[in-house]
Structure 1
Amino acid sequence: MSKHVDSYYAATANNKEDYPVLRQDLECDVCIVGAGFSGLSAGLHLAEQGFKVVILESVKVGFGATGRNGGQIVNSYSRDVDVIEKRYDKKTAQALCNMIFEGGDIIRQRIEQYNIDCDHRAGGLFTALNHKQFEALKHHKQNWERYGHTELTLLDGEELKSCVGTDVYQGGLLDMTGGHIHPLNLALGEAAAIVSLGGQIFEHSAVTRIEKGAKPVAHTEHGSVKAQYLLLAGNAYLGDLAPNVTNKAIPCGTQVIATEPLSQDLADELLPQRYCVEDCNYLLDYFRITADNRMLFGGGVVYGAREPASIEREIRPKMEKVFPQLQEIKLDYAWSGNFLLTYSRMPQFGHFSNNIYYLQGYSGHGVTCTHLAGKLLAEALQGNTERFDAFASLTHLAFPGGRHLQIPLTAMGAAYYNLRDKLAI
């Protein structure tokens, strides 16, 4: 049977045991397709409210982006306050912006409530490579403060050097409600919490077809689940199960490397406070020090989720540009994973046939937003639909170019913005 990709997270997972394969016909209140953060968050919120939950996972809990990402707790969405307030009506924008910090709060609450061992560290930095980006961070800080954020500190270039051992940045913004985690261990802890509340999880149980009706049925190779509600939470790994859900987003790949364990002195030189970092470029780099003192560094996007010929050749030069100190350091892990990109860069929540819901399209901001999404889904199934509907009301357009041209055209657009970043215009 398929396992996790060969990543640092899989190698250091707290629990490597398998959940069973579905080999029977079940009935429940809510059947969830996908055991990533979206499905786990929804499942845990629902189980806490007394719903009978069954989760069907095609491979392993956290197999997709959930178990492969940079592990950073980053507030808001892939489009932030300024874009949201310009793009949407006042009521919708207010509702969306009022929720931008909630996902991180949910993660911290889950860690504490269920005693999840996932190497949580507080503190995240946004770093500016030029004056234009630093001015944007000032605006960013003001926007978040308008919505009640009080734990932000703007750092000039010299102040930032006390947090990041490099000369490449001109300043940064420290968010102490940001931070980082071992994402796969967080997912495994949430899965265990669901089971402790009576929920059921089945791995290696891919859903092959959906039968619509008053009680939809999810069919697998060896069984089925009939439910009052069905939630599609496969995100970039949903495949062709529901084309009406996946036809307005494209899967994209991102790559991550992890070094051998660094000496304590070197780790302290690079990131003394152990804050995580992401820069302000359109195609951004992100990095952090793990609990066992490895540099974990990721960046770039491969549109269409193709595997690059060499992840090390793709990412290592980025790491060494920021940290020349790591030129002789050995890499122990290199992996890629897919996330789902929407044209608007806003997540896609909604439902069809009245009882089939979906959560997807976090566009690179999935760690926190998935946890918010699960809570909103649970609220909606309990009759409180206002906050879920704020997202469901958003218009989502398909990428231009149709099935054959949308990926190259999107890549061309990204190259344009990447050039603007390099030229600081």
Structure 2
Amino acid sequence: MSDPAHIASWYAQTLNDPCNRPRLNEAIEADVCVIGAGYTGLHTAIELADRGYSVVVLEAQRVGWGASGRNGGQVCTAYASGMDKIAGWLGQADAKRLFDLAEESKDVLRARIERFEIDCSLTWGYLLAANRPRELRECEEWAESAARDYGYEKLEVIRDAAAMRQLVDSPRYSSGLVDHGAGHLHPLNYCAGLARGAESLGVRIFEDSAAVAVERGEPIVVRTATGQVRANFAVAAGNAYLGGLLPELRSTIMPVGTYIGATPPLGEERARALLPHNHAVADLKFVLDYFRRSEDQRLLFGGRVSYSKLEPTNLRSSMRRAMLKVFPQLSDVQIDSAWGGFVGISRERTPELGRLTPNLYFAQGFSGQGVALTGIAGRVLAEAIAGQAERYDLFARLPHSSFPGGPLLRTPSLVLAMLWFRLQDLLP
């Protein structure tokens, strides 16, 4: 029997609803079986339940155990790839449609929090922080393109260090971009609230119930160690934690380790001095730092990535060193707790939605922006299952290539690629 407890983190310590759900110990039936009780699976379940489908969700550990309960909590705009690449792949008209879908994902998030009364400290305001001239140019170009090409006028360019210092009290940044339409929240409480909301609609969620086999056909059968679900449709929503359950999905996604540290409570005055407007902040490096204030006035500082699947040694010390480069005034502050996990990265840095058979769907590869984008993914998958595939087909047109190197060599090749990107981050 696996241990279904959440990993140790500040998120787990402040979880509002630590309830346990039963293991699946019998053979049951449903219209749809969803594999994974993270954001993608729960949004899909809610959308389907609203359409009158009976839904079962199978979770290998606990609700939100994977990336949905461990991430930086940032609600971002658009896609990690950048909109220019999407316009190059699909044309400007379809890029605009995809941008609008990304904005709809924020509406889904906002509406779900209100509908299900989810206490997850949703706060609007996001800052991209720059310290090189070319990063400022990137900010200016994106603000101009966002307004001109996508009708998004919520971006404010900050062009000098003094103005930046009023937003983030760090000597590291000289310019940046405020996104008034993005923000941050408590990711695990958000996920737990989605689960409660799904259950209020009749969705059955089973924890400690890993899917061990998927028997394709009509109906489809999803087996666990102690039970099974017969369903008309199945949705694989395990993302970076799906493992080898559906082998053909592994080549286009890479589980990438990312890490967060939390300071002890700093006190309201000191925490506010660091981030006076309570923005979530991320820099513009490929290997980026990101940080924000918590509800109890800690600094949550994220960064570091691992393509090798090995956790950095002395994680707390490593996170503290990174934090002090941004906030040297915290030299007397330790990292109270540190944790990490895997996010699913696609090679193109766009979500991959698809189906393996006519009744077996999947979604993966949100590439660090799943807090928002999973909401629209769940809606689009539910629409496709219900026979309305226009928006699903738009997502499915996004290109997704395999990572190089095959099963044995792709991790070493990506480690080498990461070294190259780290060197790029050092260039002016």
Task: Give the aligned partner of residue 57 of structure 1.
Answer: 59
| CA–CA separation in structure 2 for the residues paired with 1:218 and 1:161 | 54
Please state how far the C-alpha of 1:177 moved relative to its aligned partner: 1.4
Amino acid of the structure 2 residue aligned with 1:152: L
Task: Give the aligned partner of residue 322 of structure 1.
Answer: 326
Number of equivalent positions: 424
Task: Give the aligned partner of residue 151 of structure 2.
Answer: 148
Please state how far the C-alpha of 1:205 moved relative to its aligned partner: 0.4
| CA–CA separation in structure 2 for the residues paired with 1:15 and 1:320 | 34
Divergent runs of 4+, >6 A? none
Pick closer, same or farther for the CA change 1:267–1:303 going to 2, 3 Å: same
Task: Give the aligned partner of residue 341 of structure 2.
Answer: 337
Q: Are 2:198 and 1:198 aligned? A: no
Q: Are 2:274 and 1:275 aligned? A: no
Task: Give the aligned partner of residue 79 of structure 2.
Answer: 77
Q: Are 2:424 and 1:402 aligned? A: no
Amino acid of the structure 2 residue aligned with 1:205: S
Task: Give the aligned partner of residue 21 of structure 1.
Answer: 23
Are 1:82 and 1:143, in contact at CA under 8 Å, matched by a contact in 2? Answer: no
Task: Give the aligned partner of residue 182 of structure 1.
Answer: 186
Task: Give the aligned partner of residue 141 of structure 2.
Answer: 139
Please state how far the C-alpha of 1:81 moved relative to its aligned partner: 1.0
Please state how far the C-alpha of 1:418 moved relative to its aligned partner: 2.2
| CA–CA separation in structure 1 for the residues paired with 2:372 and 2:202 | 25
Please state how far the C-alpha of 1:314 moved relative to its aligned partner: 2.5
Of 396-405 and 220-229, deviating more is 396-405
| CA–CA separation in structure 2 for the residues paired with 1:318 and 1:400 | 30
Q: Are 2:257 and 1:253 aligned? A: yes
Q: Which runs of 5+ in 2 are unaligned?
A: none
Amino acid of the structure 2 residue aligned with 1:46: L
Question: Could you state the TM-score of these two structures normalised by the residue count of structure 2?
Answer: 0.96
Please state how far the C-alpha of 1:8 moved relative to its aligned partner: 0.5
- Please list the CA deviations of residues 15-59 of structure 1 after superposition, one character each: whole Å capped at 9, or x if unmatched: 111011111111111100000111011111111121111100000
Are 2:255 and 2:307, in contact at CA under 8 Å, matched by a contact in 1? Answer: yes
SS at match of 1:247: helix
**RMSD (CA atoms):** 1.3
Alignment of 1:218-297 (within 5 A): 218-297=222-301
| CA–CA separation in structure 2 for the residues paired with 1:318 and 1:257 | 10
Q: 1:118 aligns with which of 108, 117, 120?
A: 120
SS at match of 2:305: strand
Amino acid of the structure 2 residue aligned with 1:416: W
| CA–CA separation in structure 2 for the residues paired with 1:398 and 1:152 | 34
Q: 1:380 aligns with which of 363, 381, 384?
A: 384
- Please list the CA deviations of residues 310-352 of structure 1 after superposition, one character each: whole Å capped at 9, or x if unmatched: 2123322111100012221132210011011111111111002
Question: Could you state the TM-score of these two structures normalised by the residue count of structure 1?
Answer: 0.97
Please state how far the C-alpha of 1:105 moved relative to its aligned partner: 1.9
Task: Give the aligned partner of residue 38 of structure 2.
Answer: 36
Amino acid of the structure 1 residue aligned with 2:306: V
Are 1:256 and 1:311, in contact at CA under 8 Å, matched by a contact in 2? Answer: no
- Please list the CA deviations of residues 157-207 of structure 1 after superposition, one character each: whole Å capped at 9, or x if unmatched: 221111101111111111111111001000010100010011100000001
Of 96-105 and 6-15, deviating more is 96-105
Amino acid of the structure 1 residue aligned with 2:352: Q
Are 2:89 and 2:398, in contact at CA under 8 Å, matched by a contact in 1? Answer: no
Amino acid of the structure 2 residue aligned with 1:40: L
Alignment of 1:82-93 (within 5 A): 82-93=84-95
Amino acid of the structure 2 residue aligned with 1:33: I
Identity across aligned pairs (percent)? 39
Q: Which runs of 5+ in 1 are unaligned?
A: none
| CA–CA separation in structure 1 for the residues paired with 2:291 and 2:106 | 18
| CA–CA separation in structure 2 for the residues paired with 1:135 and 1:393 | 30
Are 2:260 and 2:301, in contact at CA under 8 Å, matched by a contact in 1? Answer: yes
Are 1:205 and 1:220, in contact at CA under 8 Å, matched by a contact in 2? Answer: yes
Please state how far the C-alpha of 1:414 moved relative to its aligned partner: 2.4
Task: Give the aligned partner of residue 13 of structure 2.
Answer: 11
| CA–CA separation in structure 1 for the residues paired with 2:103 and 2:164 | 24
| CA–CA separation in structure 2 for the residues paired with 1:374 and 1:304 | 30
| CA–CA separation in structure 1 for the residues paired with 2:117 and 2:336 | 29
| CA–CA separation in structure 2 for the residues paired with 1:307 and 1:299 | 12
Amino acid of the structure 1 residue aligned with 2:25: R
| CA–CA separation in structure 2 for the residues paired with 1:78 and 1:328 | 35
Are 2:96 and 2:150, in contact at CA under 8 Å, matched by a contact in 1? Answer: no
Pick closer, same or farther for the CA change 1:143–1:414 going to 2, 3 Å: farther
